[in-house]
Amino acid sequence: MEFPPPGELEYGATHDYANEYIPLGAVGPGGPRMMVEGGYRPEDHGAPPVVEDYANGSHSQLHMGNSGLYRELRSVMNDGGDRFGVSTITVDTQEELIWVGNQGGHVTSYYGPQLQKYTSFQVHPTNPIREISTFPGGVLSLYNNGLRCNARQGMRVFDCKGEDFQNMQSMLVLSDTRLLLGGHQDRLVEVDLGSGVQTVTHPTDKVGVAIMRPDQRFICCGVPTGHVQLRDPATMKIEHTLEAHRGALSDFDVIGNQLITCGFGERLGSLSVDRFLMVFDLRTMRPMAPLHVPLEPIFLRCMATYSNRIIIMDQSGQFQILDPGGLVTPEMMVLYQVSMAGDMVMDFDVSSNSSCVVFGDSGGCCHLWSSSDEEVTFNTFSTETEFAEPVVPLHAFPFSDELSSFSTIPMPYCEEEPLLSDWPAELCRVSMRQPPPVDPEILRSMKLVQFIGYAPNTGGRRRNQVAYRDVAGGSKKGSSKDKVPESPSGRTEDPMMVMVPKPYRKVEIKYSKLGIDDFDFRHYNRTNFAGLEPHIPNAYCNSMLQVLYFVEPLRCALETHTCSKEFCLACEMSFLFYMFDLSKGQTCQASNFLRAFRTIPEVSALELLLGDAEESTGKANFPRLIQSWNRFVLAQVLQETSDPATGEDEEEGASEEEKKKEKPLAHLGETVSRLFEAKVDNANVCKVCSKETVREASTMVVTLAYPEAIAAAAQGKEVKQQSFVEVLQGSMNIEQSTQAWCDDCQRYQPSMQVRSYKRLPDVITINCNLETQSDENFWRRQEQLAGVNYDHQKESAQSQVKACRYALNCTRADCRFRHDPPSTEPEVEMKSWLPLYIKVRVSQDRKVDIHELKIEGDRVDDIDAEGYVTYYLHASVCHVRDPRSGGNLVAHVNVGKTYHKRKEGVTHMQWYIFNDFSIQPIDRFDATQFNLDWKVPCVLYYMRNDATNHYDITINNPIVSSCLQPSGISKASGFKPHMTFTPLGSEETIGEGFLVGLDAEFVSLNQEEAEIRSDGTRSTIKPSQMAVARITCVRGQGELEGEPFIDDYISTQEQVVDYLTRFSGIKPGDLDATISSKHLTTLKATYLKLRYLLDMGAIFVGHGLRKDFRVINLLVDHRQVVDTAALYNLPKQRIVSLKFLAWYFLGTNIQSETHDSIEDAYTAMRLYKKYLVLKAATEDEKEWETELKKMYEEGRKHKWKVPGTE
């Protein structure tokens, strides 16, 4: 029987969203180096576990994130990283250097925390570097059959080779002159570091030694049988043997009197990663209590600090810091995640002072993490590093500048002949620069005081400056204002942004004293589609949310989904898409979706959360962020719609009809799987013995892999033209070589990994992966070879200046409008490297065949005679570069006919650009042409042409009346939460026109950011982020009129900065589920109640409901809203408070001490009833206006304060 991966056996099947393609057994020389006979198969290792799996088990206290002790400082691509992965990495123990060896035999060193390249040299032409060690005399590099010593400046000191150097694996510096080497052979080799020659050999087991660590009394040697041998340093004899693991040893280290190991165990006849760390006491030579860890440890290092600590790591990039004695602290409950873009960890090391940790991955990158907030160093006392003498640069100056001093140019003295600049005196004359004439207006208005004249500035010149004529002879037309580019974000654009068309520029909301109530969103969006506000934290994903909304089967499936899980991205996306459907051009916000997004542990682990500092300084890598977001969200939505544990619970009291309305959850998960998931088989073939191992897998995202264009250019070869479909086909039919363990060969062997397809998805999701400059150069070169012309984009950028109505007949010299000459050139055919249509099929050998499809006319066949399926470009997401702010992300979406019919009333397909709340129609070539100077492709969606025909696109509302029943979550002991409301009875029905009094209270999550201008006015830069804390609904009709039926306090897990008790009545502790005495519930549960009332056609009555619905994140049709703030208001007059209206019209005093939402909701309902009575008593609108004027006069008289109150 086949043994399943450990993650599926113990914790259930999980989808690896961190990397859609994990190389099978791709562990190189820097990875686990010790296996046993009978062995370890790559398919037994499985994908790394998702930490969310532990939330249901004994590790529920663990959380992932970078909020712990360590944080990432810097990442660099190693020399040769585009071709070879990192094989070993070491922190220098003498100097502030990091040494990196790769699988191509190259060694590179980096200086300091900035990872400045120090030296780089080749050790072996082909063999990978197995290990690097440092000692005062230089740096030692060990490869398969030899050893090289180099000075730290790169010069070779000695080479050591011989018959005893066979399959070397590890080395240990015993002293300044002694070095011990081990490998998969039956002897240990000792080398003299002074002379560089082999001195003596020591016998060992046949399987050899692969890991060696120093100790005060012994030399600890790890052997492939899972044992650790303790040898006498003087005689090299084995004194003790520790039984560590039954399967194999992966790594171990020694700290103090403790030896800790990680490795593999036997399970059902196969090997799997052992989740227990074995701890041995070297004083008694006995094992201690093992440590159970939440990840699959492959690497282990000890950290010498004030207390003993160890750091463990798996190959997916997760690591944790532990106490070997079992002590648990908050710091040791943090799981860190190294961002490696889907690559695997090959090796890591800890600095001698334990303040830095450095990682190397299979993608050729090095990642430096540190725990220090001050100056970062690798060693407590480091030797000063020797640098080359700097070259003094010569300052350049323009040759055409008349004021340049050419005498500063060093030149030899010429005695034999004169210089060319030595002109004869008869050919030279002195010419003084003449000052410009004084303006006659200045002379006319000038007043003399003694001998100095004073005159007002006419406005033509700057103060204290006199402009000379243009020495270059050119003339400047127009004013300086013409150089200021216009943009939606104001006039502070960088001049380079002039080349960016206006629809692509970053848009910002201009806040006033009324917030955003007076901001004209319709100026940026003339369509009926919904835009998204960008000021919310982590709103960089707005573009991808728009792309997913316009995938019709996904939208319908999600809007049919609901579950009992508090933070479910599928549910929040369903609520957001519902608002998109209702919107008629209004701008929405994804605040609830992003709130749930922030609470998922994996989001922080994958570094998908954008910090305020990164957002404000523009240091965020938006292309990498949005591609990782795309991969994660698709996998998360698939998991949430497929997992029965998050399905719809059968609520008590739900009718049979309501239960029938719910679709089976498996159907929704099947829809998402068919849309985005490709079923594949990953085969691993040993190149030596040809043994093949196959594992079933699935992938949701295709990451493009580009040819090595730089290598071809360096060799003088012309980069050949390749079509996009060739690159896509090569990326999907991936074949790569890697080092993996072979059971038959009983060692690491070069292996070929091959992917074959069983089923293609209906939406091919592509991450463009333009991470390096060589990738960008390849894309740029292919567009040039394809004849892509960007002139229409330049014209679009210049079109922000309006054309003059008189064209070339204009006679005004200072005309600021554009004068376009008549075009005499023929119209240029638009081309693009990115195809609009492709046809795809799975061939008989289970490879993917892709061809570009040229469309002639409007006819497109869905499936042709050869079995090819037509896909069209549905959307593309790109990053608009801006060096000042970091740029922004925009989406091009080919909006389908169903959306146009529902929103615009027409049936056609049109491309649009979605730039947050700015939406404009564009040409199709704007979505396929990418000028990489300012526009970088990130994500592409190719959708099957007949995809909607294969899915049920009807939407059944999953929200039922049972959601209105109370569902408190308070856990306070000793008493039951006080019920301040009466739930709806079975005889009470919510129908169309049912009056509901609504009021909501809020708390502040962060403070408002504002600035004071030079004129004293206050400008809001970033508004405060509010969160709903209490929602109350009262009956507006029936026997229990005025009685609340919803009064929910909303629990929050985010930090509250200000409870606003004076205005909200919320006190600290009211929102804490452990101590609150209120009816506490989740935001999602209360949101479902409001959605049900909205769907049933209820009319909401309240005061200032626009802000309430905005914070709740609910879009309500204006026909279902009655706002008393608008009923009792005169045009262009202030909004009257609810407290004053209640005193004036109802004769009651409310809000005497603090706000109560029940009182406010009931008062608003009474004011609405009073309004109906007063309107019925007045004959025309003028009488009602007169009544309001009396109220305004009374308000001014009392300064809008209720008499008798402060």
Q: Which residues are annotated as a binding site for a divalent metal cation?
A: 999, 1001, 1108, 1160
Supply 693's token pair.
């191992």
Contact partners, residue 417, CB within 8 Å, separation at least 6: none
Q: For 386-416, b where at least 16 C-beta lie within 10 A, e where not — what string?
A: eeeeeeeeeeeeeeeeeeeeeeeeeeeeeee
Listed in sequence order, the DSSP H helices in 84-239 are none
Q: Do 1022 and 1087 form a contact (C-beta atoms < 8 A)?
A: no
* Residue 599: other Cβ atoms inside 10 A: 13
HSE, side-chain direction, 13 A CA sphere, residue 179: 28
Supply 303's token pair.
């950290």
Q: Dihedral through CA 466, CA 469, CA 471, CA 472, nearest 10?
A: 120
Listed in sequence order, the DSSP H helices in 894-1013 are 897-903
Contact partners, residue 570, CB within 8 Å, separation at least 6: 558, 561, 563, 636, 637, 640, 641
Listed in sequence order, the DSSP H helices in 705-860 are 709-714, 724-732, 773-785, 791-798
Supply 902's token pair.
């529902």
Contact partners, residue 525, CB within 8 Å, separation at least 6: 531, 585, 587, 917, 918, 919, 920
Q: For 230-252, b where at least 16 C-beta lie within 10 A, e where not — what string?
A: bbeeeebeeeeebebbebbbbbb
How far is residue 624's CA from residue 939's CA, in Å, rounded to a whole number? 10
Q: Which residues are annotated as a binding site?
A: 999, 1001, 1108, 1160
Q: Do 239 and 232 form a contact (C-beta atoms < 8 A)?
A: yes
What is the DSSP-derived secondary structure letter of residue 398? -
What is the DSSP-derived secondary structure letter of residue 639? H
How far is residue 147's CA from residue 137's CA, in Å, rounded to a whole number? 15
Q: Do 693 and 670 form a contact (C-beta atoms < 8 A)?
A: no
Residue 374 identity: E
Which is nearest to 242 in space by CA: 290, 202, 309? 290
E-only strand ranges, 743-887: 747-759, 763-767, 837-842, 848-852, 869-880
Q: Do 366 and 346 form a contact (C-beta atoms < 8 A)?
A: no
What is the DSSP-derived secondary structure letter of residue 890? E
Which is nearest to 72 in space by CA: 278, 365, 295? 365
Sole residue written with tokens 């004084």: 438
Q: How far, in whole angstroms, is CA 543 from its chain's centroid?
A: 13
Q: What's the distance, Cα to Cα, between the start and end of the chain in Å?
A: 81
DSSP string, 1152-1174: SSS--HHHHHHHHHHHHHHHHHH
Distances (CA, A) of 746 to 187, 207, 224, 355: 18, 10, 10, 38
178 beta partners: 192
Length of the chain: 1206
Tell me which H or E stretch contains 137. Answer: none
Pairing assessment for the beta strands 1099-1102 and 995-1004 based on DSSP bridges? parallel
